[in-house]
């Protein structure tokens, strides 16, 4: 790969030219990395709902043409000026939120919200110079959350690239760069259920199932799955979920249903939908005195969360979790090791696989709610 360093690379990429229209496989040009940047050869992607959300562009500012993708794995092709911690050939996970290791958040043990590299969905250019590294026929193509992994080669800030164990299978651990860590960490790092406790998981997509996996690994005795799609219940059993509630099956608020099931409420709950109703239910279904609810899902910008103040005075706790409270460069290599040591399961999240040329099939699987994660093989 060293013979391409410093040169423009031509490769295939799935380009979103406009909102909601099928992605088009194009030959694009990828410029060399600049100061504090890394150029990566992307080998595998897993499609996340966030990619679909910004492709549809229904609730945010549209920015096209754009190369989406952020849950991925690959190998360092070349590095820019000032990059010393990575070298060509390193196996890596690009991450949508970075860790500069220098800001007040990165230096704090209590935060993973890097001031420099925190997720920015509106920015479509590189931090270094405000320009794109992608182009076609001389016209720029915008970046997405600092990763843009639906391209066989991409450029990211070094603070958003995590070096991992080269023995880790890249076609499996790619899901750790977003969804699995987001859900798993929300449970083990923030909710922190004790062994033998009860946990309710709201939303049984990939993030919710990862949250359930965290509860299972933590030794929870009851894991209750809550979802409006009953077809998800069977698959959730593989992640430790043993009881299920579909709010549509009841004529009372789901928090009341759960309170009756658990003699006053669950010990912990994790919300992974972005629905305000689910957020309120997740908070109000935890037991007074010690219950902790963790919000993970991202709501629409104009939504408001309302609950009675007595829910707080009765010693229920409400928390938020961003990327599972993991500092990407510091913590993610250890999460990969947990998988390698069989302390957590990852393979079961991947239910479909398609070549890059059929990436639109992955989007269709996601829109239909089929499967959990679809693997996109970038060299096919």
The residue from 37, 39, 50, 99 that is catalytic is 50
Is-catalytic flag, 100? yes
Residue 211 lies in a domain: yes
- 357 shares a domain with 294: no
Residue 59: how many other CB atoms lie within 10 Å: 11
**373 is a catalytic site residue:** yes
* 105 counts as catalytic: no
Q: What is the pLDDT of residue 201?
A: 98
Residue spans of the chain under pLDDT 70: 1-2, 59
C-alpha R_g of the chain: 21
Range of the domain at 367: 346-379
Report the domain count for the chain. 2
114 is catalytic: yes
Strand bridging mode 9-15 / 268-271: unpaired
Active site residue 49: yes
User: Are both 247 and 360 inside the same structural domain?
Assistant: no
- Whether 252 and 366 map to the same domain: the answer is no
Is 225 part of any domain? yes
Catalytic residue among 4, 11, 36, 49: 49
256 is annotated as an active-site residue: no
- Among residues 71, 77, 213, 271, which one is catalytic? 71
* Residue corresponding to tokens 């999460």: 335
What pLDDT does 59 receive?
Answer: 66
CB count within 10 Å of CB 50 equals 22
**Quick one: which H or E segment has residue 303?**
none
Tell me, yes or no, whether 253 and 363 share the same domain: no
Same domain, 283 and 235: yes
Q: Which of 280, 19, 54, 84 is nearest to 147 (CA)?
A: 54
Phi, psi (degrees; rounded to nearest 5) at 35:
-55, 130
Judgement on whether residues 194 and 265 belong to the same structural domain of the protein = yes
Which among 29, 103, 121, 364 is annotated as catalytic?
Answer: 103
* 145, 258 Cβ separation under 8 angstroms: no
70 a catalytic residue? yes
Task: Say if residue 231 is in the same domain as residue 360.
Answer: no
Same domain, 270 and 374: no
pLDDT of residue 300: 78
CA atoms within 13 A on the CB side of 102: 4
Catalytic-role residue among 118, 143, 287, 316: 118
Catalytic residue among 39, 48, 105, 222: 48
Residue 110 is assigned to a structural domain of this protein: no
Question: How confident is the model at residue 204, as a pLDDT?
Answer: 96
Clarify whether residues 306 and 362 are in a common domain. Answer: no
Same domain, 261 and 352: no
Is 81 one of the catalytic residues? Answer: no
377 is catalytic: no
Question: In the prediction, which pLDDT does 301 show?
Answer: 76
Q: Is 174 a known active-site residue? A: no
Asked if the structure places residue 20 within a domain, the reply is no
Same domain (yes/no): 262, 371:
no
Q: Which of 39, 70, 157, 216 is catalytic?
A: 70
281: domain CATH number is: 3.40.50.720
**pTM greater than 0.75 (yes/no):** yes
Q: Is 11 assigned a catalytic role?
A: no
Query: Could you say which of 37, 66, 77, 100 is catalytic?
Result: 100
DSSP percent split of the chain into helix, strand, coil, nearest 5 = 30, 25, 45
Q: Which pLDDT belongs to residue 367?
A: 87
Q: According to the model, what pLDDT value does residue 29 have?
A: 98
273 and 367 belong to one structural domain? no
Task: Classify residue 371: in a domain, yes or no.
Answer: yes
Q: Is 336 within the bounds of a domain?
A: no
Quote the pLDDT of residue 299. 85
């Amino acid at each position: 790969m060293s013979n391409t360093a410093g040169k423009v690379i031509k490769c295939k990429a799935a380009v979103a030219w406009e909102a909601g229209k099928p992605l088009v496989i194009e030959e694009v040009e990828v410029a060399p990395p600049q100061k504090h940047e890394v150029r990566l050869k992307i080998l595998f992607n897993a499609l996340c709902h966030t990619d679909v959300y910004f492709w549809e562009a229904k609730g945010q500012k549209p920015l096209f043409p754009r190369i989406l993708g952020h849950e991925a794995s690959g190998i360092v092709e070349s590095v820019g000026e000032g990059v010393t911690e990575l070298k060509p050939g390193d196996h890596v996970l690009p991450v949508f939120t970075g860790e500069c290791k220098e800001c007040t958040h990165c230096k704090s043990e209590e935060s993973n919200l890097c001031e420099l590299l925190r997720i920015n969905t509106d920015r479509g250019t590189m931090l270094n110079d405000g320009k794109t590294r992608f182009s076609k026929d001389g016209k720029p193509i915008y970046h997405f959350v600092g990763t843009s992994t639906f391209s066989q080669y991409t450029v990211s800030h070094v603070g958003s690239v995590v070096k991992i164990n080269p023995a880790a299978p890249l076609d499996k651990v790619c899901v750790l760069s977003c969804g699995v860590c987001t859900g798993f960490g929300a449970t083990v790092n923030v909710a922190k259920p004790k062994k033998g406790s009860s946990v309710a998981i709201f939303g049984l997509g990939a993030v919710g199932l990862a949250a359930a996996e965290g509860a299972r690994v933590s030794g929870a005795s009851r894991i209750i799955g809550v979802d409006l799609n009953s077809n998800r219940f069977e698959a959730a059993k593989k992640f430790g979920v043993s009881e299920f509630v579909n709010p549509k099956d009841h004529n009372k608020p789901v928090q009341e249903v759960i309170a009756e099931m658990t003699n006053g409420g669950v010990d912990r709950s994790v919300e992974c939908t972005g629905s305000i109703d689910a957020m309120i239910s997740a908070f109000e279904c935890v037991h007074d005195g010690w219950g902790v609810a963790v919000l993970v899902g991202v709501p629409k910008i104009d939504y408001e969360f309302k609950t009675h103040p007595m829910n707080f005075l009765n010693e229920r706790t409400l928390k938020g979790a961003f990327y599972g409270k993991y500092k990407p460069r510091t913590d993610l290599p250890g999460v990969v090791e947990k998988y390698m040591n069989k302390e957590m399961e990852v393979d079961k999240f991947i239910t479909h696989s398609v070549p890059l040329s059929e990436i639109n099939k992955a989007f269709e699987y996601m829109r239909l709610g089929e499967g959990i994660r679809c693997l996109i093989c970038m060299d096919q």
